């Protein structure tokens, strides 16, 4: 590893950018959300005089990526422009786009602090023992979807989650306003890459990554009894809506040789009724990952409406039967299950919450 002082780092970055004639002066800066709202000072002034550790070989991606480790050394922020191919029928970023960006910034954070550059974010001990991280739960809340050409900033950090895994949290902000437009949290467990069996996190592995985690618990969802903590019940037959016979494409496989966790989001949404897609937008999605899905598997997506307890308003009718309020019939919350067509084994279960589309 090459150790550079902040002064040497400044010289190194200015030398690099001066060798790129295609770069405009604006692009030569590592911008932040505050820079888009008002004129900002040279961002390199924000660095203190601590000694920074950089990889021996700095790649063009490292130089051009608009991401940085924060001064506390624990959280990482990166800015993204929403591209035209990342928006959907609402002319805003799709939830799959959001999930992909969360995955991207998490991987970049792991690489930035020195974990493996193979996409697995593994420590030295994990690589020796053929261990990798796999997603156990993902919870995303989106308060406002960014539109095409919007610039968003995503902050992420990780921390320990008991003896069996870790958690990673995210906060999404609109760079033009600084407004928080989304939050997310996830749980990850350790799996042996050869046996595909889960394994407890050893003290040696824990010591390797805890140095990059906040000393005190920091949660994207600090509210008591928030929706990210809610258990997802199993959806029982018969499901009201279904999309059967979904097949993984080759492009759906990730570096772990199984279907990427973002693909499951798309499969879940395939069985949402069209009238909900037409009139609502996704507000919250929670997924529990229970089984790997391989390229040759065929998957069924099942969905049924769920009425949250706080929305149920029962009253007694004239005939003594229980009736429900109009709000209960909005069908703004659903339970989901993805399962193998062949034997019904559960791959994934989920819950989604939807809100009425606002006029733009």
Domain carrying residue 98: 62-229
Side-chain half-sphere CA neighbours of 168 within 13 A: 26
Q: What share of the chain is helix, strand, coil (3-state, %, to 5)?
A: 25, 30, 40
The count of structural domains within the chain is 2
Tell me the per-residue pLDDT of 128-177, one tens digit each, with 9 for 90 and over: 998 888 899 999 999 999 999 999 999 999 998 877 789 999 999 999 99
Residue with tokens 């902040």: 6
* Cis, peptide link before residue 195, omega less than 30° from 0: no
- Which of 229, 255, 270 terminates a domain? The answer is 229
Average pLDDT over residues 266-272: 97
What's the distance, CA 359 to chain centroid? 27
Query: Which domain CATH number covers 141?
Result: 3.10.129.10
Q: Which of 1-5, 185-189, 194-198 has the lowest mean pLDDT?
A: 1-5
Examine residue 344 and state whether it is found in any structural domain, yes or no.
Answer: yes
Q: Are residues 184 and 289 in the same domain?
A: no
Residue with tokens 């749980």: 187
Sequence-separated (6 or more) residues with CB below 8 Å from residue 173: 33, 152, 153, 154, 155, 179, 180, 181
CB atoms within 10 A of CB 130: 12
Q: Are residues 300 and 353 in the same domain?
A: yes
In the numeric block, which tokens belong to residue 290?
């229970």
Examine residue 38 and state whether it is found in any structural domain, yes or no.
Answer: no
Are 6 and 49 contacting, i.e. CB atoms less than 8 angstroms apart? yes
Confidence of residue 224 (pLDDT cuts 50, 70, 90): confident
Would you give the end-to-end CA distance of the chain in angstroms? 51
Q: Are residues 97 and 181 in the same domain?
A: yes
Residue with tokens 């968003």: 152
Q: Are residues 212 and 235 in the same domain?
A: no
Q: Are residues 144 and 191 in the same domain?
A: yes
Residues with a known catalytic role: 256, 258, 293
Examine residue 138 and state whether it is found in any structural domain, yes or no.
Answer: yes
Q: Are residues 245 and 160 in the same domain?
A: no
Q: Are residues 143 and 205 in the same domain?
A: yes
Q: Are residues 197 and 236 in the same domain?
A: no
Q: Are residues 191 and 297 in the same domain?
A: no
Confidence of residue 111 (pLDDT cuts 50, 70, 90): confident
Confidence of residue 113 (pLDDT cuts 50, 70, 90): confident
Examine residue 82 and state whether it is found in any structural domain, yes or no.
Answer: yes
């Amino acid at each position: 590893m090459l150790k550079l002082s902040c002064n040497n780092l400044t010289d190194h970055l200015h030398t690099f950018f001066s060798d790129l004639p295609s770069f405009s002066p604006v692009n030569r800066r590592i911008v932040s959300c505050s820079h888009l709202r008002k004129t900002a000072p040279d961002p390199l002034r924000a660095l203190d005089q601590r000694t920074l550790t950089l990889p021996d070989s700095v790649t063009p991606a490292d130089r051009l990526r608009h991401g940085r480790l924060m001064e506390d050394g624990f959280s990482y922020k990166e800015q993204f422009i929403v591209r035209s191919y990342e928006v959907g029928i609402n002319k805003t970023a799709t939830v799959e786009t959001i999930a992909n960006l969360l995955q991207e910034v998490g991987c970049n954070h792991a690489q930035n602090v020195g974990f493996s550059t193979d996409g697995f974010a593994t420590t030295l001990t994990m690589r020796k023992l053929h261990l990798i991280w796999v997603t156990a739960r993902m919870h995303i809340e989106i308060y406002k979807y960014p539109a095409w050409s919007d610039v968003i900033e995503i902050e992420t950090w990780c921390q320990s989650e008991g003896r069996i895994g870790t958690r990673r949290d995210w906060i999404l902000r609109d760079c033009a306003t600084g407004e928080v437009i989304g939050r997310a949290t996830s749980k990850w467990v350790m799996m042996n890459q050869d046996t595909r069996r889960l394994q407890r996190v050893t003290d040696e592995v824990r010591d390797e990554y805890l140095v990059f985690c906040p000393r005190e618990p920091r949660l994207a969802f600090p509210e008591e009894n928030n929706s990210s903590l809610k258990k997802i019940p199993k959806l029982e037959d018969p499901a009201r809506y279904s999309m059967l016979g979904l097949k993984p494409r080759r492009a759906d496989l990730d570096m772990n040789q199984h279907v990427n966790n973002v693909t499951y989001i798309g499969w879940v949404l395939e069985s949402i009724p069209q009238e909900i897609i037409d009139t609502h937008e996704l507000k919250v999605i929670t997924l529990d990952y229970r089984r790997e899905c391989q390229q040759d598997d065929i998957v069924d997506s099942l969905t049924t409406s769920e009425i949250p307890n706080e929305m149920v308003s029962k009253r007694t009718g004239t005939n003594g039967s229980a009736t429900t309020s109009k709000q209960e019939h909005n069908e703004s919350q659903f339970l989901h299950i993805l399962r193998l067509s062949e034997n019904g084994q559960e791959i994934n279960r989920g819950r989604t919450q939807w809100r009425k589309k606002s006029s733009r």
